[in-house]
Amino acid sequence: VTGMSPLSPYLNLDPRYLVQDTDEFILPTGANKTRGRFELAFFTIGGCCMTGAAFGALNGLRLGLKETQNMAWSKPRNVQILNMVTRQGALWANTLGSL
């Protein structure tokens, strides 16, 4: 084919087809390009879950240190504190994510 400059002898393709001059996404006819209600809801739910997990972890650390204050620093105490942090973090993340 004359006038074409193929990329390689094995790939006989006009490079003009590879140029991206339009948008990357195909939108339905008449659709606007703003984010929809559900897309924003995913961001909000994720933010609430992360905030709840951070708050619950701090609360679990406080409760774990308070409940094990008469124990010596040892592996059982560390495991107990870690359990409280994990449990409280999951509880608060679930609660705020549901809200």
pTM for the full model?
A: 0.57
Largest CA distance in the chain: 87
Backbone dihedral region for residue 2 (phi beyond 0: left; psi -120 to 50: alpha; all else: beta): beta
Q: What is the pLDDT of residues 6-36, one digit of tens each?
A: 556 667 766 676 776 666 666 667 666 677 7
Mean pLDDT of all residues in the chain? 81
Tokens of 72: 């010596």
Tokens of 23: 């948008």
Paired with 11 in beta bridges are 8
Q: What is the pLDDT of residues 52-69, one digit of tens each?
A: 999 999 999 999 999 888
Q: Is 2 in a helix, a strand, or coil?
A: coil
Identity (one letter) of the amino acid at 24?
E
The domain ranges of the chain are: 35-71
